[in-house]
Amino acid sequence: MEYQASVLEDDENKDEILKGDIQKFLQDPDPKIVYPSAIKEMHVASMNALRGLKDLDQAREFYGKDIKFMDEHGSKYFPLVGQNLVAFTLEFGPAFRQQHPNEDIFELLFFAEQMLRMNQKDANTRIQEFIQKEKLPPIETMNWGTDAPLIQAQRQELLNSLKKFRGLPADPVDQQADPVDQQADPVDQQVQPDAHNRATLYDAAARRNYRKPYVGKAIDPSCDKCTIIDPETKQQVQAEIIGRHPHRRKWLVCAIHSLNKDYPKLQRFVTIDGTSGQYRDILEKYDQQGSNEQLLVGSKGDLNECRIEDFELNGVVLLPWGDSIRMAAYGLSHSKKQGFRLFPKTVLCSKWGVTTGVAIMHCHLQKCGSRIPECKTGKEVAKPETWYP
């Protein structure tokens, strides 16, 4: 009626028209009124908003007091699940509570986050299988492949943060544990990221820093950071010092951000001359207060029984050597209990052949947005602008 009155505001016969409409409405309290499209859209939007508020209230009620933890830390620990947390909670939460009433809902959230990260296409199926198991499988014993150490540490960080929020003592972190050696449930052997996602989601910095037994201890952690000139953009950029180059101990190997938006967490490895006036202070601070680590050199023996798929490449180091460039792969073999090592190009080529050895490093340089040099002359084989926008 209110809408009708506004429409007839300038009509001389509006009183009679409204009187007739009111009488019709009283005779039929549920008349088939045809509303204009604008009114229909407003009505639908209002109903959707009400449903959304109702769903939000149900989801928040599901977490109880822990909803404050989700509000404060959800974006850090569950960035993918958190994109539609309400829908996720309403879809999977009730079944999880019914099947596993004594288990923590955060185990489900953590498992779902890994599934969405590794294989989004089959994530819902994997989550349903996880929920439907008679006994909830321990996440820490699942076979996460080469991501196991990082996932273990992330899960422990989440649990400790959650316990602190709940006023409980945190568990000690076992930095010496090697989750790769743990026995996995055969059902969970399929929990592996596909080949494409391995590269797009690989977090170079996290993979290095979570291998605690192989990371040096800095007196002042800020001395393991520095500002250098980006060789690609020629702009100042923040860098993390990985260590001294083993062949030139006064040169530092630094990691800087990727320039390729498709591989945002890969890193470019840059070498800087610590004897130059530009970087002398950086070397002195790293030597006196930083980790002061020298990178270990990998040999062909370190790659014994190592298949290409078992070799984890963290970055490619380019070291100026006169008029030429020395190229090396910073990585580790998952067939041995070792930390990251610097494998010269000749070692990789000797192990897997020249074509494959060079391709491994060139492919990584391409993905992270570095130039590809010709080692003998130092000239660029391809400019980075040819593969990143």
CA distance 382 to 171: 50
Start-to-end CA span in the chain (Å): 57
CA distance 238 to 255: 9
Strongest mean pLDDT among 102-106, 268-272, 354-358: 268-272
The arithmetic mean of pLDDT across residues 321-327, rounded, is: 86
* Torsion on CA atoms 57, 58, 59, 62, rounded to nearest 10: 120
Q: For residue 303, what are the CA distances in angstroms to 35, 130, 309?
A: 74, 36, 12
Please answer whether residues 315 and 268 qualify as being in contact, where contact means their C-beta atoms are separated by less than 8 angstroms: yes
**pLDDT category of residue 8 using cuts at 50, 70 and 90:** very low
What's the confidence (pLDDT) of residue 372? Answer: 82
Between 1 and 319, the more confident residue is 319
What's the confidence (pLDDT) of residue 171? Answer: 62
Please answer whether residues 299 and 285 qualify as being in contact, where contact means their C-beta atoms are separated by less than 8 angstroms: no
The arithmetic mean of pLDDT across residues 330-347, rounded, is: 86
Considering only CA atoms, which of 214, 245, 246 is closest in space to residue 332?
214
pLDDT above 70: residue 313: yes
What's the confidence (pLDDT) of residue 376? Answer: 62
CA distance 105 to 353: 49
What's the confidence (pLDDT) of residue 274? Answer: 94
Burial class (CB within 10 angstroms; exposed 0-12, middle 13-18, buried 19+) of 283: buried
pLDDT above 80: residue 373: no
**Looking at residue 301, what DSSP letter applies?**
G
Q: How do the domains of the chain map onto residue ranges?
A: 2-50, 58-193, 217-386
What's the confidence (pLDDT) of residue 185? Answer: 38
Tokens of 69: 């933890």
The arithmetic mean of pLDDT across residues 359-371, rounded, is: 87
Q: What is the DSSP string of 167-217?
A: T-PPPPP-TT--GGGSPPPGGGGG----HHHHHHH--HHHHHHT-GGGS--
pLDDT above 90: residue 325: no
**Tens-digit pLDDT profile for residues 168-207:** 876 654 444 443 333 333 334 344 444 445 566 778 888 8
**Tens-digit pLDDT profile for residues 54-71:** 556 666 777 778 878 888
Between 186 and 317, the more confident residue is 317
**pLDDT category of residue 363 using cuts at 50, 70 and 90:** confident
The arithmetic mean of pLDDT across residues 20-24, rounded, is: 64
CA distance 200 to 187: 26
What's the confidence (pLDDT) of residue 62? Answer: 74
**pTM of the shown model:** 0.53
Task: Give Cβ neighbours of residue 226 (< 8 Å, ≥ 6 apart).
Answer: 238, 239, 241, 252, 254, 272, 279, 282, 286
Query: 257-261, 308-312, 328-332: lowest mean pLDDT where?
Result: 308-312
What's the confidence (pLDDT) of residue 214? Answer: 47
**Tens-digit pLDDT profile for residues 208-238:** 876 544 455 778 989 999 999 999 899 999 9
Query: 19-23, 121-125, 201-205: lowest mean pLDDT where?
Result: 19-23
What's the confidence (pLDDT) of residue 5? Answer: 42
**pLDDT category of residue 246 using cuts at 50, 70 and 90:** very high
User: Average pLDDT over the chain, rounded to whole?
Assistant: 76
What's the confidence (pLDDT) of residue 243? Answer: 94
What's the confidence (pLDDT) of residue 229? Answer: 95
The arithmetic mean of pLDDT across residues 250-279, rounded, is: 93
Query: 26-35, 69-78, 223-232, 331-340: lowest mean pLDDT where?
Result: 26-35
What's the confidence (pLDDT) of residue 152? Answer: 75
